[in-house]
Amino acid sequence: MQTTTISFDHFNALKDAQAHERIRAARAKLGSRAVLLVHHYQRADVYQHHDLTGDSLRLSRLASETDAEYIVFCGVHFMAEVADILSKPQQIAILPDLAAGCSMADMANLAKVERCWRELNEVLGQADEQVTPVTYINSAADLKAFCGEHGGIVCTSSNAPKILDWSFARREKVLFFPDQHLGRWTGHKMGIPLEAMRVWDPDLPNGGLTPEEIRNARMLLWKGHCAVHQMFQPTHIANWRKQNPDGFVISHPESAYEVCEASDYVGSTEYIIKVIKDAPAGTKWLVGTELNLVNRLAEEVKPEGKQVQFMSPIVCMCSTMQRIDPQHLAWTLENLAEGNVVNRISVPEHEARLAKLSLERMLAVS
């Protein structure tokens, strides 16, 4: 029987040690009814409580495989949406702090994407016959639904090359949103010239492009980016190499093209972890991705004599994911243990059905 929801005010002033104790107590009471999915970028004091962890693709799959009644997602809003879309109807997806969003995902919204599609129709004729819409998983559910409705698909940083192969096999052009950098680097690795990949500025008519530029483009890259990965610069790499000529540089493809080009390896979060863990003992690494992950990885490989350094001299982590702290997690779990569901993420049925189409296409391809 449901009881009165416990106010977060009772938890906000908790010291971390108290919050951790209450998290453990609530988890013991809940048992297998709740599962904690935790993204690699999550802060260490929350990450320690994970049941399952991974990057966006892995967590997408795990969300659909768990049998727990409650899926508590320690990540950001779009991740919890994916969990709700892919999970079983009786399961409930929860985000411990609703303020945990994604600035990149916010750079593309449905109204602007629909206007872009109308403008493409005006220039190209039937956009549905010529352009495959591809949305990065770091996007809202309604954009995934847009892709589902228009024969498009979702991608992650792990599977973007396979997804673009699939997309170009169906139509001659791709509209890629919201992250221009992942789209550009993936297109470049496929042999698409930079001049054939045009940036679409959603705040300008026709994306700031001429009809000829639109017709000649193979990829239209939405003007969006990740604030964390924008911090990295080629000068960071050049300066580090002077001090570590025998070292290696590895970057996430959300980084700028020039950073990826100057790196020895480029790949997803899971790829970065695997490459460094599989590397010979004693190797040195400069890593261009989120700080919490880099620090955790550095500690894990330190016993092998490996040195792992964050690329930017400025401390920068995913600030929105940081909003999920031990206090919010304790509040969420105690409420669940008392029969109260807080911060449920529920995607409308029609939107979820179309979004699931695009996600299932991705999972089948990857």
More confident residue, 336 or 228: 336
Q: Is residue 296 part of a domain?
A: yes
Q: Is residue 276 part of a domain?
A: yes
Note the pLDDT of residue 309: 96
pTM of the model: 0.90
Mean pLDDT of the region 173-181: 97
Q: Is residue 353 part of a domain?
A: no
Mean pLDDT of the region 292-311: 95
Q: Residue-wise over 59-89: b if at least 16 C-beta within 10 A, else e?
A: bbebbbebebbbbbbbbbbbbbbbbbbbbee
Do 144 and 222 belong to one domain?
yes
Q: Is residue 4 part of a domain?
A: no
Q: Is 1's pLDDT higher than 70? A: no
Query: What separation in angstroms does the CA of 176 have from each of 105, 182, 349?
Result: 13, 9, 25
Do 158 and 263 belong to one domain?
no
Last residue of a domain, one of 226, 250, 276: 226
Partners of 309 in the β-ladder: 286
Do 116 and 210 belong to one domain?
yes
User: What length does the chain have?
Assistant: 366
Nearest C-alpha neighbor of 326 from the set 24, 5, 101: 24
Do 158 and 191 belong to one domain?
yes
Note the pLDDT of residue 317: 53
Partners of 249 in the β-ladder: 286
Note the pLDDT tens digit of each residue in 9-52: 878 888 999 999 999 999 999 999 999 999 888 888 888 999 99
Last residue of a domain, one of 226, 246, 270: 226
Do 253 and 278 belong to one domain?
yes
**DSSP string of 206-240, one letter each residue:** GGG--HHHHHH-SEEEES---TTGGG--HHHHHHH
Do 220 and 233 belong to one domain?
no
Q: Is residue 48 part of a domain?
A: yes
Do 19 and 93 belong to one domain?
yes
Residue 181 sits in a domain of what CATH number? Answer: 3.40.50.10800
Q: What is the DSSP letter of 94?
A: E
Q: Is residue 364 part of a domain?
A: no
Do 278 and 169 belong to one domain?
no
Average of per-residue pLDDT values in the chain: 92
More confident residue, 291 or 170: 170
Structure tokens, 141: 């559910």
Q: Is residue 359 part of a domain?
A: no
Do 196 and 299 belong to one domain?
no
Number of domains in the chain: 3
Q: Residue-wise over 237-253: b if at least 16 C-beta within 10 A, else e?
A: beebbeeeeeebbbbbb
Do 95 and 44 belong to one domain?
yes
Note the pLDDT tens digit of each residue in 208-226: 999 999 999 999 999 998 8
Mean pLDDT of the region 190-215: 97
Last residue of a domain, one of 186, 209, 226: 226
Do 116 and 200 belong to one domain?
yes
Please say whether the beta carbons of 178 and 224 come within 8 A.
Answer: yes
Sign of the CA dihedral running 214, 220, 222, 223: negative
Note the pLDDT tens digit of each residue in 89-114: 999 999 998 887 677 777 899 999 99
Q: Is residue 249 part of a domain?
A: yes
Distance CA 355, CA 213 (A): 30
More confident residue, 196 or 39: 196
Q: Is 314's pLDDT higher than 90? A: no
Do 206 and 122 belong to one domain?
yes
Note the pLDDT of residue 318: 56
Note the pLDDT of residue 320: 62
Note the pLDDT tens digit of each residue in 280-297: 999 999 999 988 889 999
**What's the domain range around 261?**
229-310
More confident residue, 311 or 321: 311
Note the pLDDT tens digit of each residue in 42-81: 888 888 999 998 877 687 778 778 889 999 999 888 889 9
Note the pLDDT tens digit of each residue in 226-266: 878 888 999 999 999 999 999 999 999 999 999 999 999 99
